[in-house]
A and B are shown apart, each in its own frame.
Chain A
Protein backbone atom coordinates (compact mmCIF):
# COMPACT_ATOMS: atom_id res chain seq x y z
CA UNK A 1 0.00 0.00 0.00
CA UNK A 2 1.33 3.37 -0.91
CA UNK A 3 0.51 6.13 1.48
CA UNK A 4 0.10 9.76 0.61
CA UNK A 5 2.93 10.55 2.94
CA UNK A 6 5.78 12.23 1.15
CA UNK A 7 9.37 11.43 1.74
CA UNK A 8 11.01 14.16 3.72
CA UNK A 9 14.29 15.48 2.50
CA UNK A 10 16.83 16.75 4.94
CA UNK A 11 19.10 19.46 3.78
CA UNK A 12 22.75 18.64 3.59
CA UNK A 13 25.21 21.43 4.02
CA UNK A 14 28.03 20.90 1.57
CA UNK A 15 30.26 23.62 0.27
CA UNK A 16 29.82 25.07 -3.15
CA UNK A 17 26.34 26.23 -2.26
CA UNK A 18 27.19 29.89 -2.64
CA UNK A 19 29.05 29.36 -5.88
CA UNK A 20 26.16 27.44 -7.36
CA UNK A 21 23.66 30.11 -6.39
CA UNK A 22 25.85 32.76 -7.93
CA UNK A 23 25.85 30.81 -11.17
CA UNK A 24 22.09 30.56 -11.14
CA UNK A 25 21.56 34.24 -10.46
CA UNK A 26 24.10 35.29 -13.07
CA UNK A 27 22.52 33.03 -15.65
CA UNK A 28 19.12 34.49 -14.90
CA UNK A 29 20.40 38.04 -15.22
CA UNK A 30 22.14 37.24 -18.49
CA UNK A 31 18.95 35.72 -19.83
CA UNK A 32 17.02 38.82 -18.87
CA UNK A 33 19.63 41.07 -20.44
CA UNK A 34 19.28 39.11 -23.66
CA UNK A 35 15.61 39.95 -23.72
CA UNK A 36 16.02 43.70 -23.61
CA UNK A 37 16.32 45.64 -26.81
CA UNK A 38 19.49 47.14 -28.13
CA UNK A 39 17.56 50.29 -28.83
CA UNK A 40 19.77 53.29 -29.32
CA UNK A 41 22.89 51.16 -29.50
CA UNK A 42 25.43 52.63 -31.86
CA UNK A 43 27.49 50.21 -33.82
CA UNK A 44 29.63 50.67 -36.90
CA UNK A 45 28.19 49.04 -39.99
CA UNK A 46 31.46 48.48 -41.79
CA UNK A 47 32.70 50.05 -44.99
CA UNK A 48 29.57 51.75 -46.32
CA UNK A 49 30.47 55.44 -46.00
CA UNK A 50 26.83 56.56 -46.26
CA UNK A 51 25.65 54.59 -43.31
CA UNK A 52 27.66 54.80 -40.17
CA UNK A 53 25.02 54.13 -37.54
CA UNK A 54 21.96 51.94 -37.05
CA UNK A 55 19.14 53.53 -35.12
CA UNK A 56 15.72 52.49 -33.95
CA UNK A 57 12.64 54.68 -33.82
CA UNK A 58 9.91 53.27 -31.61
CA UNK A 59 6.37 54.43 -32.31
CA UNK A 60 3.46 53.74 -29.93
CA UNK A 61 0.28 53.96 -31.97
CA UNK A 62 -3.41 53.15 -31.65
CA UNK A 63 -4.34 49.78 -33.14
CA UNK A 64 -6.55 51.36 -35.80
CA UNK A 65 -3.49 53.10 -37.25
CA UNK A 66 -1.66 49.86 -37.98
CA UNK A 67 -2.03 49.74 -41.77
CA UNK A 68 -1.25 53.38 -42.69
CA UNK A 69 1.52 53.65 -40.08
CA UNK A 70 3.30 50.54 -41.29
CA UNK A 71 3.35 52.05 -44.76
CA UNK A 72 4.57 55.40 -43.39
CA UNK A 73 7.24 53.48 -41.48
CA UNK A 74 8.55 52.03 -44.74
CA UNK A 75 8.56 55.47 -46.34
CA UNK A 76 10.44 56.87 -43.35
CA UNK A 77 13.01 54.08 -43.43
CA UNK A 78 13.61 54.67 -47.16
CA UNK A 79 14.22 58.33 -46.47
CA UNK A 80 16.48 57.64 -43.48
CA UNK A 81 18.99 54.88 -44.25
CA UNK A 82 20.06 52.98 -41.16
CA UNK A 83 16.89 53.76 -39.26
CA UNK A 84 14.53 50.98 -38.27
CA UNK A 85 11.02 52.02 -37.31
CA UNK A 86 9.47 49.73 -34.76
CA UNK A 87 5.79 49.87 -33.82
CA UNK A 88 3.86 49.00 -30.73
CA UNK A 89 0.19 48.92 -31.68
CA UNK A 90 -2.51 48.62 -29.02
CA UNK A 91 -5.38 50.24 -27.22
CA UNK A 92 -4.54 53.92 -26.68
CA UNK A 93 -5.06 53.90 -22.92
CA UNK A 94 -2.96 50.78 -22.57
CA UNK A 95 -0.14 52.41 -24.53
CA UNK A 96 -0.18 55.47 -22.32
CA UNK A 97 -0.17 53.23 -19.24
CA UNK A 98 2.89 51.38 -20.57
CA UNK A 99 4.73 54.65 -21.26
CA UNK A 100 3.86 55.90 -17.79
CA UNK A 101 5.42 52.70 -16.39
CA UNK A 102 8.63 53.55 -18.22
CA UNK A 103 8.36 51.72 -21.53
CA UNK A 104 10.88 53.30 -23.92
CA UNK A 105 9.30 55.05 -26.89
CA UNK A 106 9.91 57.96 -29.23
CA UNK A 107 6.51 58.84 -30.70
CA UNK A 108 2.94 58.42 -29.48
CA UNK A 109 -0.21 58.53 -31.63
CA UNK A 110 -3.54 57.93 -29.89
CA UNK A 111 -7.05 57.31 -31.19
CA UNK A 112 -8.60 60.17 -29.29
CA UNK A 113 -7.70 63.39 -27.55
CA UNK A 114 -8.58 62.56 -23.94
CA UNK A 115 -6.01 59.74 -23.91
CA UNK A 116 -3.33 62.04 -25.30
CA UNK A 117 -4.34 64.56 -22.64
CA UNK A 118 -3.53 61.89 -20.03
CA UNK A 119 -0.08 61.48 -21.56
CA UNK A 120 0.45 65.23 -21.50
CA UNK A 121 -0.66 65.34 -17.87
CA UNK A 122 1.89 62.64 -17.03
CA UNK A 123 4.60 64.77 -18.72
CA UNK A 124 5.34 62.04 -21.20
CA UNK A 125 5.07 64.26 -24.23
CA UNK A 126 7.52 66.80 -25.68
CA UNK A 127 5.71 69.87 -27.02
CA UNK A 128 2.07 70.10 -28.06
CA UNK A 129 0.34 67.11 -29.66
CA UNK A 130 -0.79 67.70 -33.26
CA UNK A 131 -4.09 66.34 -34.59
CA UNK A 132 -3.37 64.50 -37.84
CA UNK A 133 -6.48 62.48 -38.71
CA UNK A 134 -10.07 61.92 -37.76
CA UNK A 135 -12.36 58.98 -37.87
CA UNK A 136 -16.11 58.53 -37.61
CA UNK A 137 -18.32 55.63 -36.71
CA UNK A 138 -20.14 53.53 -39.24
CA UNK A 139 -22.62 50.70 -38.89
CA UNK A 140 -20.95 47.51 -40.01
CA UNK A 141 -22.84 44.42 -41.16
CA UNK A 142 -21.72 41.12 -42.67
CA UNK A 143 -21.60 41.17 -46.48
CA UNK A 144 -24.89 39.26 -46.72
CA UNK A 145 -26.52 41.50 -44.09
CA UNK A 146 -28.71 38.73 -42.62
CA UNK A 147 -30.73 41.06 -40.39
CA UNK A 148 -31.45 43.50 -43.24
CA UNK A 149 -29.95 46.48 -41.41
CA UNK A 150 -30.29 49.78 -43.32
CA UNK A 151 -30.09 52.50 -40.68
CA UNK A 152 -28.75 53.08 -37.19
CA UNK A 153 -32.31 52.76 -35.87
CA UNK A 154 -32.43 49.17 -37.19
CA UNK A 155 -29.83 48.27 -34.56
CA UNK A 156 -32.39 48.92 -31.84
CA UNK A 157 -34.84 46.40 -33.30
CA UNK A 158 -35.42 43.39 -31.09
CA UNK A 159 -33.83 40.22 -32.42
CA UNK A 160 -30.97 42.02 -34.09
CA UNK A 161 -27.74 40.82 -32.54
CA UNK A 162 -25.61 43.93 -32.14
CA UNK A 163 -22.16 44.13 -30.64
CA UNK A 164 -20.66 47.40 -29.44
CA UNK A 165 -17.49 48.47 -27.72
CA UNK A 166 -17.81 48.57 -23.94
CA UNK A 167 -18.51 52.12 -22.70
CA UNK A 168 -15.24 52.03 -20.77
CA UNK A 169 -13.12 52.00 -23.95
CA UNK A 170 -12.90 54.99 -26.38
CA UNK A 171 -14.88 53.41 -29.22
CA UNK A 172 -17.59 52.51 -26.70
CA UNK A 173 -17.71 56.07 -25.45
CA UNK A 174 -18.05 57.25 -29.03
CA UNK A 175 -20.82 54.70 -29.66
CA UNK A 176 -22.71 55.91 -26.62
CA UNK A 177 -22.35 59.51 -27.79
CA UNK A 178 -23.66 58.53 -31.22
CA UNK A 179 -26.65 56.71 -29.73
CA UNK A 180 -27.43 59.82 -27.72
CA UNK A 181 -27.05 62.15 -30.71
CA UNK A 182 -29.33 59.94 -32.83
CA UNK A 183 -31.81 59.24 -30.05
CA UNK A 184 -31.42 55.49 -30.43
CA UNK A 185 -31.20 52.99 -27.59
CA UNK A 186 -29.26 49.92 -28.66
CA UNK A 187 -29.24 46.80 -26.47
CA UNK A 188 -26.05 45.00 -27.47
CA UNK A 189 -25.63 41.26 -26.96
CA UNK A 190 -22.01 41.89 -26.17
CA UNK A 191 -19.83 44.81 -25.16
CA UNK A 192 -16.41 44.15 -26.56
CA UNK A 193 -13.03 45.19 -25.30
CA UNK A 194 -11.89 46.79 -28.52
CA UNK A 195 -13.15 47.88 -31.89
CA UNK A 196 -11.30 44.98 -33.55
CA UNK A 197 -13.31 42.56 -31.41
CA UNK A 198 -16.53 44.18 -32.61
CA UNK A 199 -15.37 43.95 -36.22
CA UNK A 200 -14.32 40.31 -35.72
CA UNK A 201 -17.71 39.28 -34.40
CA UNK A 202 -19.50 40.94 -37.33
CA UNK A 203 -17.01 39.60 -39.83
CA UNK A 204 -17.54 36.01 -38.64
CA UNK A 205 -21.30 36.44 -38.81
CA UNK A 206 -21.76 35.87 -35.08
CA UNK A 207 -23.30 39.30 -34.80
CA UNK A 208 -25.76 40.95 -37.21
CA UNK A 209 -24.30 44.41 -36.83
CA UNK A 210 -21.91 46.59 -34.90
CA UNK A 211 -20.56 50.10 -34.65
CA UNK A 212 -16.95 50.54 -35.74
CA UNK A 213 -14.81 53.22 -37.35
CA UNK A 214 -14.93 53.87 -41.07
CA UNK A 215 -11.28 52.85 -41.28
CA UNK A 216 -12.06 49.45 -39.74
CA UNK A 217 -14.69 48.82 -42.38
CA UNK A 218 -12.16 49.77 -45.05
CA UNK A 219 -9.58 47.37 -43.64
CA UNK A 220 -12.01 44.44 -43.57
CA UNK A 221 -12.53 44.55 -47.35
CA UNK A 222 -15.44 42.78 -48.95
CA UNK A 223 -16.36 40.62 -45.96
CA UNK A 224 -18.36 43.43 -44.41
CA UNK A 225 -20.40 46.36 -45.55
CA UNK A 226 -20.32 49.81 -43.96
CA UNK A 227 -23.47 51.86 -43.63
CA UNK A 228 -23.07 55.62 -43.18
CA UNK A 229 -24.79 57.18 -40.23
CA UNK A 230 -25.62 60.90 -40.69
CA UNK A 231 -25.46 61.57 -36.95
CA UNK A 232 -21.89 60.23 -36.85
CA UNK A 233 -20.64 63.58 -38.11
CA UNK A 234 -21.39 64.86 -34.62
CA UNK A 235 -19.13 62.30 -33.01
CA UNK A 236 -15.79 62.82 -34.68
CA UNK A 237 -12.79 61.15 -33.20
CA UNK A 238 -9.57 63.08 -33.62
CA UNK A 239 -6.16 61.36 -33.63
CA UNK A 240 -3.29 63.36 -32.12
CA UNK A 241 0.43 62.58 -32.43
CA UNK A 242 3.40 63.79 -30.40
CA UNK A 243 7.10 63.16 -29.93
CA UNK A 244 7.88 61.82 -26.49
CA UNK A 245 9.95 63.62 -23.91
CA UNK A 246 12.26 60.65 -23.33
CA UNK A 247 12.85 60.05 -27.04
CA UNK A 248 16.36 58.72 -27.68
CA UNK A 249 16.71 60.95 -30.74
CA UNK A 250 14.42 63.97 -30.52
CA UNK A 251 15.24 65.07 -34.05
CA UNK A 252 14.29 61.75 -35.57
CA UNK A 253 11.06 61.65 -33.56
CA UNK A 254 10.14 65.14 -34.76
CA UNK A 255 10.82 64.10 -38.34
CA UNK A 256 8.42 61.16 -38.04
CA UNK A 257 5.73 63.43 -36.58
CA UNK A 258 6.31 65.78 -39.51
CA UNK A 259 5.91 62.93 -42.00
CA UNK A 260 2.59 61.86 -40.46
CA UNK A 261 1.17 65.37 -40.26
CA UNK A 262 2.49 66.35 -43.72
CA UNK A 263 1.03 65.91 -47.18
CA UNK A 264 2.47 62.44 -47.73
CA UNK A 265 1.09 61.25 -44.41
CA UNK A 266 -2.30 62.72 -45.21
CA UNK A 267 -2.45 60.81 -48.48
CA UNK A 268 -1.58 57.48 -46.89
CA UNK A 269 -4.10 58.05 -44.12
CA UNK A 270 -6.81 59.06 -46.59
CA UNK A 271 -6.18 55.83 -48.52
CA UNK A 272 -6.92 53.93 -45.31
CA UNK A 273 -10.21 55.78 -44.86
CA UNK A 274 -9.12 58.44 -42.40
CA UNK A 275 -10.27 62.01 -42.82
CA UNK A 276 -8.34 65.16 -42.22
CA UNK A 277 -8.60 66.40 -38.60
Chain B
Protein backbone atom coordinates (compact mmCIF):
# COMPACT_ATOMS: atom_id res chain seq x y z
CA UNK B 1 0.00 0.00 0.00
CA UNK B 2 1.42 3.33 -0.98
CA UNK B 3 1.67 6.10 1.54
CA UNK B 4 1.65 9.36 -0.27
CA UNK B 5 2.15 12.63 1.52
CA UNK B 6 -0.81 15.00 1.46
CA UNK B 7 -0.26 18.73 1.90
CA UNK B 8 -1.25 19.31 5.47
CA UNK B 9 -2.95 22.64 4.87
CA UNK B 10 -5.56 20.80 2.80
CA UNK B 11 -7.00 19.55 6.06
CA UNK B 12 -8.28 22.99 6.99
CA UNK B 13 -10.63 23.55 4.04
CA UNK B 14 -11.51 19.85 4.22
CA UNK B 15 -12.50 20.25 7.87
CA UNK B 16 -14.39 23.43 7.06
CA UNK B 17 -16.19 21.57 4.30
CA UNK B 18 -17.18 18.78 6.68
CA UNK B 19 -18.36 21.30 9.22
CA UNK B 20 -20.29 23.22 6.59
CA UNK B 21 -22.22 20.11 5.60
CA UNK B 22 -22.45 18.50 9.02
CA UNK B 23 -23.24 21.47 11.20
CA UNK B 24 -26.76 22.18 9.89
CA UNK B 25 -27.77 18.56 10.40
CA UNK B 26 -26.31 18.54 13.91
CA UNK B 27 -27.95 21.87 14.66
CA UNK B 28 -31.27 20.46 13.48
CA UNK B 29 -30.89 17.42 15.70
CA UNK B 30 -30.09 19.69 18.64
CA UNK B 31 -33.14 21.88 18.06
CA UNK B 32 -35.55 18.94 18.00
CA UNK B 33 -38.09 19.06 20.80
CA UNK B 34 -37.44 15.50 21.92
CA UNK B 35 -40.26 15.57 24.47
CA UNK B 36 -42.87 15.82 21.75
CA UNK B 37 -40.81 14.17 19.00
CA UNK B 38 -42.79 10.95 19.14
CA UNK B 39 -46.18 12.55 18.83
CA UNK B 40 -44.95 14.98 16.16
CA UNK B 41 -43.63 12.31 13.83
CA UNK B 42 -46.43 9.79 14.41
CA UNK B 43 -49.31 12.09 13.57
CA UNK B 44 -51.54 10.86 10.76
CA UNK B 45 -50.24 13.50 8.39
CA UNK B 46 -46.62 12.60 9.16
CA UNK B 47 -46.93 8.84 8.82
CA UNK B 48 -49.01 9.23 5.67
CA UNK B 49 -46.30 11.42 4.21
CA UNK B 50 -43.48 9.08 5.24
CA UNK B 51 -45.22 6.00 3.87
CA UNK B 52 -46.12 7.79 0.65
CA UNK B 53 -42.52 8.94 0.27
CA UNK B 54 -41.12 5.45 0.78
CA UNK B 55 -43.68 3.89 -1.55
CA UNK B 56 -43.27 6.39 -4.36
CA UNK B 57 -39.48 6.49 -4.04
CA UNK B 58 -39.35 2.69 -4.28
CA UNK B 59 -41.56 2.61 -7.37
CA UNK B 60 -39.68 5.52 -8.96
CA UNK B 61 -36.34 3.85 -8.30
CA UNK B 62 -37.59 0.70 -9.99
CA UNK B 63 -38.67 2.81 -12.97
CA UNK B 64 -35.27 4.49 -12.99
CA UNK B 65 -33.62 1.06 -13.14
CA UNK B 66 -35.97 -0.19 -15.83
CA UNK B 67 -35.37 2.78 -18.09
CA UNK B 68 -31.99 3.96 -16.86
CA UNK B 69 -29.97 0.75 -17.17
CA UNK B 70 -30.62 0.34 -20.90
CA UNK B 71 -30.02 4.05 -21.39
CA UNK B 72 -26.69 3.89 -19.56
CA UNK B 73 -25.59 0.88 -21.58
CA UNK B 74 -26.46 2.58 -24.85
CA UNK B 75 -24.60 5.72 -23.77
CA UNK B 76 -21.56 3.81 -22.57
CA UNK B 77 -21.25 1.74 -25.72
CA UNK B 78 -21.83 4.37 -28.36
CA UNK B 79 -19.94 7.44 -29.42
CA UNK B 80 -20.35 10.28 -31.87
CA UNK B 81 -22.62 13.29 -32.08
CA UNK B 82 -25.81 11.28 -31.64
CA UNK B 83 -24.51 9.87 -28.35
CA UNK B 84 -23.38 13.31 -27.16
CA UNK B 85 -26.79 14.71 -27.98
CA UNK B 86 -28.56 11.84 -26.27
CA UNK B 87 -26.43 12.31 -23.16
CA UNK B 88 -27.24 16.02 -23.03
CA UNK B 89 -30.95 15.24 -23.21
CA UNK B 90 -30.75 12.63 -20.48
CA UNK B 91 -28.85 14.98 -18.19
CA UNK B 92 -31.29 17.87 -18.57
CA UNK B 93 -33.22 17.06 -15.35
CA UNK B 94 -29.93 17.25 -13.49
CA UNK B 95 -29.16 20.80 -14.51
CA UNK B 96 -32.59 22.43 -14.51
CA UNK B 97 -34.26 23.50 -11.26
CA UNK B 98 -36.83 20.92 -10.16
CA UNK B 99 -39.59 23.52 -10.39
CA UNK B 100 -38.75 23.95 -14.06
CA UNK B 101 -38.83 20.18 -14.37
CA UNK B 102 -42.31 20.23 -12.86
CA UNK B 103 -43.45 22.86 -15.36
CA UNK B 104 -41.96 20.82 -18.22
CA UNK B 105 -43.76 17.71 -16.97
CA UNK B 106 -47.01 19.66 -16.91
CA UNK B 107 -46.51 20.58 -20.56
CA UNK B 108 -46.03 16.90 -21.41
CA UNK B 109 -48.31 14.94 -19.07
CA UNK B 110 -50.63 17.64 -17.71
CA UNK B 111 -54.31 17.64 -18.63
CA UNK B 112 -53.61 20.20 -21.34
CA UNK B 113 -50.14 18.88 -22.11
CA UNK B 114 -48.87 17.05 -25.18
CA UNK B 115 -49.88 13.60 -23.96
CA UNK B 116 -52.41 14.61 -21.33
CA UNK B 117 -55.55 14.22 -23.42
CA UNK B 118 -54.29 10.93 -24.89
CA UNK B 119 -53.65 9.62 -21.40
CA UNK B 120 -57.05 10.78 -20.27
CA UNK B 121 -58.72 8.97 -23.16
CA UNK B 122 -56.77 5.88 -22.13
CA UNK B 123 -58.33 6.28 -18.71
CA UNK B 124 -55.12 7.38 -17.08
CA UNK B 125 -55.62 10.47 -14.94
CA UNK B 126 -52.16 11.74 -14.11
CA UNK B 127 -52.98 15.13 -12.63
CA UNK B 128 -53.02 15.22 -8.82
CA UNK B 129 -52.44 11.47 -8.58
CA UNK B 130 -49.71 9.42 -6.96
CA UNK B 131 -48.68 8.53 -10.51
CA UNK B 132 -47.74 12.17 -11.00
CA UNK B 133 -45.48 11.98 -7.93
CA UNK B 134 -43.76 8.92 -9.36
CA UNK B 135 -43.34 10.61 -12.73
CA UNK B 136 -41.80 13.69 -11.10
CA UNK B 137 -39.43 11.61 -8.97
CA UNK B 138 -38.36 9.39 -11.85
CA UNK B 139 -37.76 12.45 -14.01
CA UNK B 140 -35.39 14.12 -11.56
CA UNK B 141 -33.68 10.95 -10.28
CA UNK B 142 -32.93 9.01 -13.44
CA UNK B 143 -29.86 11.02 -14.49
CA UNK B 144 -28.15 10.06 -11.23
CA UNK B 145 -28.52 6.38 -12.04
CA UNK B 146 -27.59 6.78 -15.69
CA UNK B 147 -24.47 8.85 -14.96
CA UNK B 148 -23.21 6.56 -12.25
CA UNK B 149 -23.82 3.38 -14.23
CA UNK B 150 -22.44 4.78 -17.46
CA UNK B 151 -19.20 5.69 -15.68
CA UNK B 152 -18.90 2.18 -14.26
CA UNK B 153 -19.59 0.62 -17.65
CA UNK B 154 -17.00 2.78 -19.34
CA UNK B 155 -14.43 1.91 -16.69
CA UNK B 156 -15.17 -1.80 -17.05
CA UNK B 157 -14.72 -1.50 -20.81
CA UNK B 158 -15.66 -4.13 -23.37
CA UNK B 159 -12.77 -6.55 -22.86
CA UNK B 160 -14.71 -9.01 -20.78
CA UNK B 161 -17.73 -8.73 -23.01
CA UNK B 162 -15.61 -9.66 -26.01
CA UNK B 163 -14.21 -12.71 -24.25
CA UNK B 164 -17.71 -13.73 -23.22
CA UNK B 165 -18.90 -13.47 -26.83
CA UNK B 166 -16.06 -15.65 -28.11
CA UNK B 167 -17.02 -18.19 -25.44
CA UNK B 168 -20.39 -18.52 -27.13
CA UNK B 169 -22.48 -16.13 -25.03
CA UNK B 170 -25.27 -14.36 -26.93
CA UNK B 171 -25.56 -10.57 -26.38
CA UNK B 172 -28.29 -10.94 -23.75
CA UNK B 173 -26.26 -13.51 -21.84
CA UNK B 174 -23.21 -11.23 -22.00
CA UNK B 175 -25.29 -8.34 -20.68
CA UNK B 176 -26.78 -10.38 -17.86
CA UNK B 177 -23.76 -12.40 -16.79
CA UNK B 178 -20.86 -10.06 -17.53
CA UNK B 179 -21.81 -6.44 -18.21
CA UNK B 180 -24.15 -5.95 -15.27
CA UNK B 181 -22.16 -7.86 -12.63
CA UNK B 182 -19.01 -5.94 -13.54
CA UNK B 183 -20.82 -2.62 -13.28
CA UNK B 184 -22.57 -3.65 -10.07
CA UNK B 185 -20.80 -1.17 -7.75
CA UNK B 186 -21.76 1.67 -10.07
CA UNK B 187 -25.27 0.32 -10.35
CA UNK B 188 -25.64 0.09 -6.58
CA UNK B 189 -24.35 3.58 -5.91
CA UNK B 190 -26.46 4.92 -8.77
CA UNK B 191 -29.53 3.25 -7.30
CA UNK B 192 -28.82 4.72 -3.86
CA UNK B 193 -28.38 8.17 -5.35
CA UNK B 194 -31.57 7.85 -7.35
CA UNK B 195 -33.55 6.61 -4.35
CA UNK B 196 -32.24 9.43 -2.18
CA UNK B 197 -33.08 11.94 -4.88
CA UNK B 198 -36.62 10.50 -5.15
CA UNK B 199 -37.03 10.70 -1.40
CA UNK B 200 -35.95 14.34 -1.34
CA UNK B 201 -37.84 15.46 -4.43
CA UNK B 202 -39.87 18.60 -3.76
CA UNK B 203 -39.98 21.21 -6.51
CA UNK B 204 -41.14 19.10 -9.42
CA UNK B 205 -43.67 17.29 -7.24
CA UNK B 206 -45.30 20.41 -5.81
CA UNK B 207 -45.43 21.96 -9.28
CA UNK B 208 -46.61 18.92 -11.18
CA UNK B 209 -48.44 16.67 -8.74
CA UNK B 210 -49.95 18.98 -6.18
CA UNK B 211 -50.15 18.30 -2.46
CA UNK B 212 -52.80 16.15 -0.82
CA UNK B 213 -52.33 14.07 2.28
CA UNK B 214 -51.90 10.38 1.49
CA UNK B 215 -51.99 10.92 -2.28
CA UNK B 216 -49.37 13.41 -3.35
CA UNK B 217 -48.03 15.02 -0.19
CA UNK B 218 -44.68 13.34 0.28
CA UNK B 219 -42.46 13.96 3.28
CA UNK B 220 -40.64 17.00 1.87
CA UNK B 221 -43.98 18.62 0.98
CA UNK B 222 -45.33 17.84 4.43
CA UNK B 223 -42.22 19.35 6.01
CA UNK B 224 -42.60 22.51 3.94
CA UNK B 225 -46.26 22.78 4.88
CA UNK B 226 -45.62 22.13 8.56
CA UNK B 227 -43.18 25.03 8.51
CA UNK B 228 -46.19 27.29 8.17
CA UNK B 229 -48.17 25.89 11.06
CA UNK B 230 -45.82 23.98 13.35
CA UNK B 231 -42.08 24.58 12.85
CA UNK B 232 -41.28 22.02 15.58
CA UNK B 233 -43.00 19.32 13.56
CA UNK B 234 -41.09 20.44 10.46
CA UNK B 235 -37.77 20.01 12.26
CA UNK B 236 -38.77 16.63 13.68
CA UNK B 237 -39.89 15.37 10.26
CA UNK B 238 -36.73 16.69 8.64
CA UNK B 239 -34.74 14.61 11.07
CA UNK B 240 -36.81 11.56 10.14
CA UNK B 241 -36.04 12.17 6.48
CA UNK B 242 -32.32 12.43 7.23
CA UNK B 243 -32.50 9.24 9.28
CA UNK B 244 -34.26 7.34 6.49
CA UNK B 245 -31.68 8.49 3.95
CA UNK B 246 -28.77 7.52 6.20
CA UNK B 247 -30.40 4.16 6.89
CA UNK B 248 -30.84 3.40 3.20
CA UNK B 249 -27.25 4.31 2.40
CA UNK B 250 -25.99 2.31 5.37
CA UNK B 251 -27.97 -0.80 4.46
CA UNK B 252 -26.92 -0.80 0.83
CA UNK B 253 -23.29 -0.19 1.72
CA UNK B 254 -23.29 -3.07 4.16
CA UNK B 255 -24.78 -5.38 1.54
CA UNK B 256 -22.42 -4.18 -1.09
CA UNK B 257 -19.12 -5.02 0.62
CA UNK B 258 -18.92 -8.73 -0.33
CA UNK B 259 -19.09 -7.84 -4.02
CA UNK B 260 -15.44 -6.98 -3.80
CA UNK B 261 -13.12 -5.59 -6.41
CA UNK B 262 -13.79 -4.23 -9.80
CA UNK B 263 -11.50 -5.22 -12.61
CA UNK B 264 -10.26 -2.51 -14.86
A1–B264 CA distance with the chains assembled, in angstroms: 6
A192 touches B210 (CB 8 A): yes
Please, which residue of chain A has its CB at the minimum distance from the CB of B216?
A190
Q: Give the residues from 187 to 208 in chain A that come closer than 8 angstroms, CB to CB, to chain B.
A: 188-193, 197, 200-201, 204-207
B212 touches A17 (CB 8 A): no
B190 at the A/B interface (Cβ < 8 Å)? no
Q: Which residues of the partner chain A approach B106 to less than 8 Å between Cβ atoms?
A: 204, 206
Q: Which residues of the partner chain A approach B78 to less than 8 Å between Cβ atoms?
A: none
* Contact-size category for A: 35 or more
B4 touches A7 (CB 8 A): yes
Q: Which residues of the partner chain A approach B206 to less than 8 Å between Cβ atoms?
A: 192-193, 197
Which of B1, B127, B260 is packed against the most chain A CB atoms within 10 Å?
A: B127
User: Given that A2-B262, A4-B261 are contacting pairs, would A192 and B211 also be in contact in the complex, using a CB cutoff of 8 Å?
Assistant: yes
B128 touches A206 (CB 8 A): yes
The answer, among B11, B207, B221, B229, for a CB contact under 8 Å with A11, is: B11
B47 at the A/B interface (Cβ < 8 Å)? no
A11–B9 CA distance with the chains assembled, in angstroms: 9
List 29 interface pairs A-B (beta carbons < 8 Å), by A numbering. Answer: A1-B263, A4-B261, A4-B262, A7-B1, A7-B2, A7-B4, A8-B2, A8-B3, A9-B3, A9-B5, A11-B5, A11-B6, A17-B8, A21-B12, A24-B13, A25-B16, A91-B228, A94-B228, A97-B231, A168-B229, A169-B229, A188-B212, A189-B210, A190-B209, A190-B211, A193-B228, A205-B110, A205-B112, A206-B128
Give A contacts to B, CB under 8 Å: 1-5, 7-14, 16-17, 20-21, 24-25, 28, 91, 93-94, 97, 161, 163, 166, 168-169, 188-193, 197, 200-201, 204-207
Closest 5 CB pairs of A and B: A190-B210, A20-B9, A168-B229, A189-B128, A21-B12
